[in-house]
């Protein structure tokens, strides 16, 4: 006789398993043949389980079906929310940013400010004249049309305030590259307001939405124009600084030559009285030489197109496939190269060529045109970096000049090579602080 609670194991009929009333347990023992009249047997459900098990399984099946329906509903709700979501992640927007196109082209930032002030007055007028939000005129509360109209008006104010708060917040944080995302965000807010106010037919009017979108466009245009003017001003300051440095160089050199000329003039006057024809001839020849040098210096200072075209690179900062092609009017062009290799870059620039030309402006322009398709910065042509190897610049210079004397194809880049050797060796780096190794940087 099988004891109460023990039933044939649904997985192996040679055994019996204990059923605790709600589930199978881990207690199993061999089945014993009945010796005598069979006792009462509890009815079994599907799969050999007792009827209680069948009821539990049926309940589980119902719960599974309900959960499946809930999952489906939640998925539909997620899809709906995704359709209403506007992606405003700056990094994602920047990865897709193109060349900014002005929606309302104006001459300068001041013109945009004036246009924005006029537009903001139109926005205020639309709110004051009740042309910003619409709503039903047929709404009653407990039969009172007056109370219904008041409720509609209150909800209109609430919805419009929500819309304006969001629009103002978008304007405050707007960047030119996020304009499309900002407009989409505002349009979806309007759609949400329309959905919430559907019973009272509350909606932001097309006219008012157009005004707020135009405000976004003008704000983005203004920000882009300010950035453009700021960059131009920075470049102009850099140009004036370079010209001022060149002017000081010329003045110092002219002062030195004039001082040396005065010295030889005094020497010539003294040698006339000493009757030393050989020394006098040498001093007079030096005076002529100094006169020519001063005249040449004055002519060069007056010729704003004269100067040095330089071809430089910085492997440690930009790799071995980038060169900078620029111009300087300094008497000592390496002064300019050293300035470019200041603390703003990790290593000094290496010089591939320094070419003096009476028309350095024309030579630089010709080089820039030859490598225009290889510019690193395709937006700002005043950034003079190019994705080319030095050898390619050398070949073009030969075509343009024909008398290229020296050109260094392989830069020294001493500090960069030393740094790479230390990095590969894992050597200790010594600074003002206690020494540490490169492995420490990853901890």
Nearest CA to 330 among 299, 309, 350, 348?
A: 309
Q: Has residue 420 been placed in a domain?
A: no
Domain assignment present for residue 238? The answer is: no
CB 325 within 8 A of CB 272: no
349 and 379 in a single domain? The answer is yes
Residue 431 located in a structural domain: no
DSSP letter, residue 428: P
Contact 388, 374 (CB under 8 A): yes
Residues 257 and 205 in one domain: no
How many Å apart are CA 192 and CA 204, to the nearest integer? 10
Each residue's pLDDT expressed in tens, for the chain with a length of 443 residues = 567 777 777 777 677 887 777 777 877 787 765 444 444 444 545 444 556 566 767 777 788 888 888 888 888 777 766 665 555 565 555 555 566 788 888 888 899 999 999 999 999 999 999 999 999 888 888 888 888 999 999 999 999 999 999 999 999 989 888 888 899 999 999 999 999 899 899 999 999 999 999 999 999 999 989 988 888 888 888 888 888 888 888 888 889 888 888 888 888 888 877 777 888 888 888 888 888 888 888 888 777 788 999 999 999 999 989 999 999 989 899 999 999 998 889 999 999 999 988 889 999 999 999 999 999 998 888 899 999 999 999 999 988 886 666 888 888 899 999 999 998 887 655 545 444 444 554 44
Q: What DSSP letter does each residue of 313-363 carry, written as one string?
A: E-HHHH-TT-EEEEEE--SSHHHHHHHHTSTTSSSPPEEEEEEEETTHHHH
Does 323 lie in the same domain as 285? no
Structural domain of 296 = 247-302
pTM equals 0.60
Q: In terms of domains, do 292 and 315 share one?
A: no
Q: Is residue 53 part of a domain?
A: no
| Closest CA relative to residue 376, chosen from 303, 316, 324 | 324
Which letter, b or e, does each residue of 353-367 get, where b requires 16 or more Cβ atoms within 10 Å of its Cβ? Answer: bbbebeebbebbebb
Is 155 contained in some domain? yes
Q: Measure the CA–CA gap between 274 and 267, rounded to whole angstroms.
A: 11
- Give the span between the Cα atoms of 86 and 209, in whole angstroms: 17
> Based on the structure, what is the number of domains in the chain?
4
Spatial contact of 328 and 308, defined as CB atoms under 8 Å apart: yes
Inside any domain, residue 2: yes
Cα–Cα distances (Å) from 147 to 129, 139, 233, in that order, read 22, 8, 61
Note whether 257 and 223 are same-domain residues: no
Same domain, 220 and 205: yes
Residue 92 lies inside a defined structural domain of this protein: no
One domain for residues 256 and 337 = no
Within a domain: residue 44? Answer: no
CB 46 within 8 A of CB 8: no
* CA atoms in the 13 A half-sphere facing the CB of 153: 8
- Please identify, among 198, 228, 258, the residue that sits at the C-terminal boundary of a domain: 228
Task: Looking at the structure, tell me whether residues 261 and 371 fall in a common domain.
Answer: no
Same domain, 256 and 330: no
* Token representation of residue 309: 């075209």
Kind and range of the H or E element at 62? helix 51-84
Exposure string of 147-173, with b = 16+ CB inside 10 Å and e = fewer, is: ebbebbeebbeebbeebbebbeebbee
Q: Verify that 376 and 287 share a domain, yes or no.
A: no
Q: Which residues pair with residue 28 across a beta bridge?
A: 17
Q: Are residues 329 and 396 in the same domain?
A: yes
Examine the domain organization and report whether 403 and 367 are in the same domain.
yes
């Amino acid at each position: 006789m099988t004891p109460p609670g023990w039933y044939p194991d649904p997985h192996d009929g040679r055994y019996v398993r204990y059923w605790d009333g709600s589930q199978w347990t881990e207690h199993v023992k061999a089945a014993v043949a009945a010796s005598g009249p069979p006792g009462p047997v509890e009815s079994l459900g599907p799969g050999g389980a007792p009827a209680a098990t069948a009821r539990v399984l049926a309940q589980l099946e119902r719960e599974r079906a309900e959960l499946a329906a809930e999952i489906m509903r939640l998925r539909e709700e997620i899809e709906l929310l995704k359709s209403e979501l506007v992606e405003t992640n700056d990094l994602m927007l920047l990865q897709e940013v193109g060349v900014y196109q002005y929606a309302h082209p104006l001459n300068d930032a001041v013109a945009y400010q004036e246009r924005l002030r006029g537009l903001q007055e139109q926005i205020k007028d639309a709110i004051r004249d009740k042309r910003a939000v619409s709503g039903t005129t047929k709404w009653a509360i407990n039969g009172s049309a007056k109370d219904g109209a008041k409720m509609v008006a209150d909800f209109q104010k609430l919805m419009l305030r929500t819309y304006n708060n969001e629009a103002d917040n978008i304007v405050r944080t707007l960047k030119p590259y996020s304009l499309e995302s900002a407009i989409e965000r505002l349009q979806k807010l309007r759609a949400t307001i329309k959905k919430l106010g559907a019973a009272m037919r509350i909606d932001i009017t097309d006219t008012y939405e157009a005004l707020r979108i135009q405000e976004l466009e003008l704000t983005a245009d203004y920000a882009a124009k300010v950035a453009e003017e700021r960059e131009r001003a920075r470049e102009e300051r850099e140009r004036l600084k370079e010209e001022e440095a060149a002017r000081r160089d010329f003045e110092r050199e002219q002062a030195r030559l004039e001082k040396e000329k005065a010295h030889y003039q005094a020497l010539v006057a003294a040698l006339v009285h000493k009757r030393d024809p050989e020394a006098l001839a040498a001093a007079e020849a030096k005076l002529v030489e100094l006169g020519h040098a001063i005249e040449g210096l004055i002519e060069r200072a007056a010729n704003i197109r004269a100067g040095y075209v330089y071809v430089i690179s910085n492997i440690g900062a930009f790799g071995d496939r980038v060169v900078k092609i620029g111009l300087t009017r300094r008497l000592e062009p390496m002064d300019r190269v050293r300035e470019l290799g200041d603390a703003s870059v990790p290593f000094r620039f290496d010089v591939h060529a320094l070419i003096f030309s009476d028309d350095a402006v024309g030579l630089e322009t010709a080089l820039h045109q030859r490598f225009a398709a290889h510019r690193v910065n395709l937006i700002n042509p005043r950034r003079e970096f190019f994705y080319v190897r030095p050898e390619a610049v050398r070949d073009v210079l030969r075509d343009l000049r024909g008398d290229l004397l020296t050109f260094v194809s392989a830069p020294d880049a001493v500090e960069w090579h030393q740094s790479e050797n230390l990095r590969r060796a894992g050597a200790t780096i010594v600074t003002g602080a206690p020494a540490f190794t490169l492995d420490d940087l990853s901890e």
